[in-house]
Amino acid sequence: MCTDTGCRVCGSTGVYEAFVEEVRKARLGRRVEVKATGCHGYCEKGALVVIHPEKILYVQVKPKDVAEIVSKTLKRCAVVKRLLYKDPESGERIVHEGDVPFYQKQMRVLFGNNTRIDPCDITDYIACDGYQALRGVLETMNPRKVIETVIRSGLRGRGGGGFPTGIKWRSARKAKGERTYVIGNADEGDPGAFMDRSICEGNPHSIIEGMLIGAYAVGAEEGIIYVRDEYPLAVETLTTAITQAYECGLLGRRILGSALTFDISIMRGGGAFVCGESTALMASLEGKMGEPRAKYIHTVEKGLWNQPTVLNNVETWANVPRIFLHGVDWYTSMGTGDVSHDPWGGSKGTKVFSLVGNINNTGLVEVPMGISLREIIYEIGGGIPGGKEFKAVQTGGPSGGCLPESQLDLPVDFDRLTEAGSMMGSGGMIVMDEDTCMVDVAHYFVDFLKDESCGKCLPCREGLRALSEILTRITEGNGRSGDIKLLQELSETIIGTSLCALGSTAPNPVLSTLRYFKKEYISHIRDKRCPAGVCKALIQYRIDAIACNGCHACFKVCPADCITGEAKEIHVIDQDTCIKCGSCYEVCRFDAVKR
Amino acid sequence: MKLTIDGKKVEAGKGATVLEAAAGAGIEIPAVCAHDALEPYGACRLCVVEVRQRGTSRWRTVASCLYPVRDGLEVRTKTVRVERHRRVLIELMLARCPGIPYVEELARTYGVERARFARGEDDCIMCGMCVRVCSEVVGASAIGFSSRGVDRRVSVPFGIDDSCCIACGACAYICPTGAIQMEYERMLELRRSEGEHRCRYALMGLVADAGCSFNYECAHCEVDQSMWERYGGHPLLAVRRRKCSSKGTGPKERPGRPTRRRTRGRSKGTAERRTRGGSKGTAERRTWGGSKGTARRTRTSTGSRKR
Ligand SMILES: Cc1cc2nc3c(=O)[nH]c(=O)nc-3n(C[C@H](O)[C@H](O)[C@H](O)COP(=O)(O)O)c2cc1C
Ligand code: SF4
Ligand code: SF4
Ligand code: FES
């Protein structure tokens, strides 16, 4: 059962304890093992319990349900029907995990083992072929061959940039320095994203194994995992995992009898979004202020303490053992493009997205590259709740772009998403329904980035402030006729001159909404109207005298007491005191409240 | 290293930046946060240029103060795109710091008439020169940046602890806008209460500390006077600049390089900008000299004092 952060919120700790207790009471201890695992992905339906080997999935389990599961399923092999997943369309109950639509289209290369592994027990990982890839590498390959393999696999960085990992390693190997560092980036500051956390909490050894292979390839002896401090559980699991790896001789000196020596330590980040950026992260590791510096000399040559440094996202690291375990051909069979000659030629493998927003199935989904956004949103995500229309999906974290319905058939691929004005980023995916105002969305993200900018360079610091100021003005109904052009001009300079990628991608939300939803900007500026009815300054609620039958419902819900009218009489909203909360609009069953 | 800048063939030493190469060739690029006694930093972005490596087709915009020269590099410093970026940047600077002569002058030079954005009321353009001079040249690291984004500020640790300041005045001297100034009164106060005194020139390592015949009232000090005359500027910066150029390697000693960078678009030199803050006439040069005190960022107009 999942005891990761998402399910913990749904009470999975209690469920776990109940299981231990019930299994003990039922004297099943020798035949049944209760295992607390990492995230399964389907956080929407937590707490999740999977019964192996049949893979029976129980969703939304509460501690009080445990006795029944034990007595029925564990003792008598019968399923507890009411706890099974119910298909929202057909109403059918689905027994097996693999048949649930949420899992069907996924390809769980990294997360597959999460449902079987206790992250705090290294033997579980080893039982699932863990550290076999490392052994194979140490026994049969020289570092050059390792790097070549990674290049041929077409693995590209999962942290945002999509830079070919093998190429990075090769440059680091070539770079001159006293020592080389290997770093895992688990800073994950994007709002709404939690895939890195789930890997750290669910399968920490896959990261360690990946880093060991990387260290062997580039000749590093020291590794660091940089975890944000807001992830206490991840820090705890990683610490346990590292300790166990040392105990098993998988870290330290002469690993597995080879000449490889490698140490890993954990550093905790202070929670600044910009510290996920490579140079800021290294500055922060050096104890300096977490602000980026120019990368005209790459960090693979002069990174941490001015030494060659390989920084990869933890998801990238977790991919590495998989490639060596199952081979390059297997890996390149997933994804788009052709990477046999050029690692930039396509996107291979899988990608984990955290699917959130106005969508039925929120959670973590791992899909093969090249799957369309439509499949992710409608087949895995189960579509938009409440029968609402889809409006846009934002991929790539706060500085990603918003893509409309017309782009839904776009394959998930580093280059195609960039062409469409968005990006893969680290894998955030926010779905928005028809009630979303795109100007407001752009404003929200620009504000986030404005607050997270380190403030070192002028275009990002002042430029984002100016962007935010213009967007505020537009959403408040004070937009001016030249504002769209001004937004574009400013964005261009911010992109062209910012020091780091925070600044140079920050205008994406503005530019992409301008590209696909320009009409909304125009109605805000010219007609002083917010089509989605979100921008408070631009909406007015009033009651249609003909449609109102005096049911008095709105009168009762209005928190500002600004509706007057007796029962069975026509009601009126006092515009001066109305706070535009929309409660009356929601409650009126006769469509008499107009917006 | 051979490169072309605006069509002109230029040679530069290995490790030089494009900005330095351009300065050597007499090509002017505005560079607000660069200073030849300091490491390049890349905060103002005004030094933006377009570069293209031979054999590639795409022109990239980069900060020339940081971009290292490479063989066969082509550089354009005055394209439409570059000029447009510069104007928007200056406009943003002007919006943040309206009424600062230095910024206004810059705006005039580049044809920016007014800022289309909300006006702030800051003096500091965040070039970071004060912070860098304090750590790189003085070695005191008494001031630094705090907060982030638009809240970023130059400050002493926790906003209160000025005990690391050695009152050398380098920050106030280097600040292009006059945003950072010395507080003379505060310094004297500190000295009186703490008994033991040291000469700040001793702290800077420029003279032996042999007691002061003026009872550490720097306002009357001859050493101060002579230091300025000897070095023609802040002694620490002058020493540092000389050190750089006596290293014998690197870009800093190339012939033809002006000893004092004039590419900053600062047309009226130091005197003008330092008069900001209400000091009159002759006070400029002595501002720091007379104000033996802890560095404090102030907006007051009484910061610099006349002796
Ligand atoms: C503002 C900003 C924030 C970033 N945050 C993260 C992060 O949280 N996690 C991460 O892995 N990479 C982050 N990155 C990307 C890193 O700079 C870097 O490219 C990445 O860790 C390299 O690993 P990869 O090649 O495996 O993607 C961020 C980049 C920027 C510009
Ligand atoms: S782009 Fe933004 S975050 Fe990056 S260095 Fe400049 S101010 Fe800092
Ligand atoms: S106080 Fe002056 S020198 Fe320091 S950052 Fe501000 S403008 Fe630059
Ligand atoms: S960024 Fe190059 S001089 Fe300021």
User: pLDDT digits over A401-415, tens only?
Assistant: 999 999 999 999 999
Looking at A474, A499, A525, the residue that finishes a domain is A525
Locus of tokens 């910012």: A498
Tell me the range of A494-498, B35-39, B133-137 where mean pLDDT is highest: A494-498
CA distance A352 to A109: 10
- Are residue A380 and residue A465 in the same domain, yes or no? no
Residues A255/A258/A263/A264 CA torsion (nearest 10 deg): -70
**What is the structure's pLDDT at B246?**
38
Contacts of A454 in chain B (CB under 8 A): 148-149, 152
Residues of chain B with a CB closer than 8 angstroms to some CB in chain A: 42-46, 48, 61-63, 66-68, 81, 84-85, 88-89, 92-93, 95-96, 116-118, 125-126, 128, 144-145, 147-152
**What is the structure's pLDDT at A545?**
86
How do residues A357-367 score in pLDDT, each as one tens digit? 999 988 899 99
- Of B42, B116, B149, nearest to A453 by CB-CB distance is B149
How do residues B100-159 score in pLDDT, each as one tens digit? 899 999 999 998 988 899 888 889 999 999 999 988 888 888 899 998 888 999 998 888
The band of B299, judged by pLDDT with boundaries at 50, 70 and 90, is very low
Strand-pair partners of A337: A346
CA distance B235 to A574: 71
Contacts of A274 in chain B (CB under 8 A): 148
The band of B279, judged by pLDDT with boundaries at 50, 70 and 90, is very low
* Closest-CA residue of chain B to A499: B42
Residue A204 structure tokens:
């920490």
- Are residue A340 and residue A424 in the same domain, yes or no? no
The residue length of chain A stands at: 595
CA distance A159 to A291: 18
CA distance B160 to A74: 65
**What is the structure's pLDDT at B259?**
31
- Are residue A410 and residue A450 in the same domain, yes or no? no
Q: What is the mean pLDDT of residues A249-273?
A: 91
Q: Is A368 helix (H, G, I), strand (E, B) or coil?
A: strand
Q: Does residue B268 have a pLDDT over 60?
A: no
* Closest-CA residue of chain A to B68: A296
Query: A470 to each of A153, A318, A454, A475, how far by Cα in Å?
Result: 45, 42, 21, 9
Q: Which ligand is nearest to the CA of A277?
A: 1
**What is the structure's pLDDT at B187?**
66
Residue A106 lies in a domain: no
* Closest-CA residue of chain A to B15: A297
**What is the structure's pLDDT at A468?**
94
- Of B66, B89, B117, nearest to A458 by CB-CB distance is B89
Residue A322 structure tokens:
């998989």
CA distance B118 to B96: 8
How many CB atoms neighbour CB B109 within 10 A?
13
Q: What is the mean pLDDT of residues B187-210?
A: 67
- Are residue A46 and residue A9 in the same domain, yes or no? yes
Q: What is the mean pLDDT of residues A3-27?
A: 89
d(CA B305, nearest CA chain A) in Å: 31
Residue B134: CB within 6 Å of ligand 3?
no
Contact A461 B152 (CB under 8 A): yes
- Are residue A363 and residue A252 in the same domain, yes or no? no
Residues of chain A with a CB closer than 8 angstroms to some CB in chain B: 272, 274, 289, 291, 293-294, 296-297, 450-459, 461-466, 469-470, 486, 489-490, 492-493, 496-499
Ligand 3 midpoint to CA B132 (Å) = 10
Which residues span the domain enclosing A580? Answer: 540-594
Residue A283 lies in a domain: yes
Q: What long-range pairs does B246-253 form, CB within 8 A, spacing at least 24?
A: B249/B13, B250/B13, B250/B15, B250/B16, B251/B12, B251/B13, B251/B15, B251/B16, B251/B17, B251/B20, B251/B21, B252/B20, B252/B36
CA distance A219 to B105: 53
How many distinct structural domains can be found in chain A?
Answer: 5
- Are residue A222 and residue A281 in the same domain, yes or no? yes
- For ligand 2, pick from A490, A498, A505, A508 the residue to mutate: most ligand atoms within 8 Å of CB: A498
- Are residue A227 and residue A129 in the same domain, yes or no? yes
Ligand 3 midpoint to CA B143 (Å) = 11
**What is the structure's pLDDT at B193?**
52
Q: Does residue B161 have a pLDDT over 60?
A: yes
Residue A427: CB within 6 Å of ligand 2?
no
Q: What is the mean pLDDT of residues B284-299?
A: 39
Q: What is the mean pLDDT of residues A262-267?
A: 94
- Are residue A81 and residue A190 in the same domain, yes or no? no
Upstream peptide bond of A53 is cis (omega within 30 degrees of 0): yes
Q: Which ligand is nearest to the CA of A500?
A: 2
- CATH code for position A96: 3.40.30.10
Does the interface predicted TM-score (ipTM) exceed 0.95? no
Q: CB within 8 A of A94, min separation 6: which ones? A: A57, A84, A85, A86, A87, A100
Residue A534 lies in a domain: no
Residue A59 lies in a domain: yes
- For ligand 1, pick from A185, A187, A449 the residue to mutate: most ligand atoms within 8 Å of CB: A185
- Are residue A407 and residue A453 in the same domain, yes or no? no
The residue length of chain B stands at: 307
Cβ-contact A238, A204 below 8 angstroms:
yes
- For ligand 1, pick from A426, A456, A457, A508 the residue to mutate: most ligand atoms within 8 Å of CB: A426
- Are residue A335 and residue A215 in the same domain, yes or no? yes
Residue B125: CB within 6 Å of ligand 3?
yes
> Which helix (DSSP H) or strand (DSSP E) does residue A400 occupy?
none
Q: Does residue A64 have a pLDDT over 50?
A: yes
Looking at A525, A556, A575, the residue that finishes a domain is A525
CA distance B85 to A219: 43
Cβ-contact A403, A353 below 8 angstroms:
no
Residue A531 lies in a domain: no
Q: CB within 8 A of A537, min separation 6: which ones? A: A475, A476, A477
- Are residue A91 and residue A194 in the same domain, yes or no? no
Residue A530 lies in a domain: no
Ligand 2 midpoint to CA A136 (Å) = 42
Contact A457 B45 (CB under 8 A): yes
- Are residue A47 and residue A194 in the same domain, yes or no? no
Residue B248 structure tokens:
């014998």
Residue A506 lies in a domain: yes
Residue B34: CB within 6 Å of ligand 3?
no
Contact B63 A294 (CB under 8 A): yes
How many CB atoms neighbour CB A581 within 10 A?
14
Q: Does residue B26 have a pLDDT over 60?
A: yes
- CATH code for position A152: 3.40.50.11540
Looking at A416, A436, A456, the residue that finishes a domain is A436
Residue A339 lies in a domain: yes
- CATH code for position A417: 3.10.20.600
Contact A493 B151 (CB under 8 A): no
Q: Which ligand is nearest to the CA of A211?
A: 1
Say which range, A162-176, A204-218, B221-235, has the weakest mean pLDDT. B221-235
Cβ-contact A133, A213 below 8 angstroms:
yes
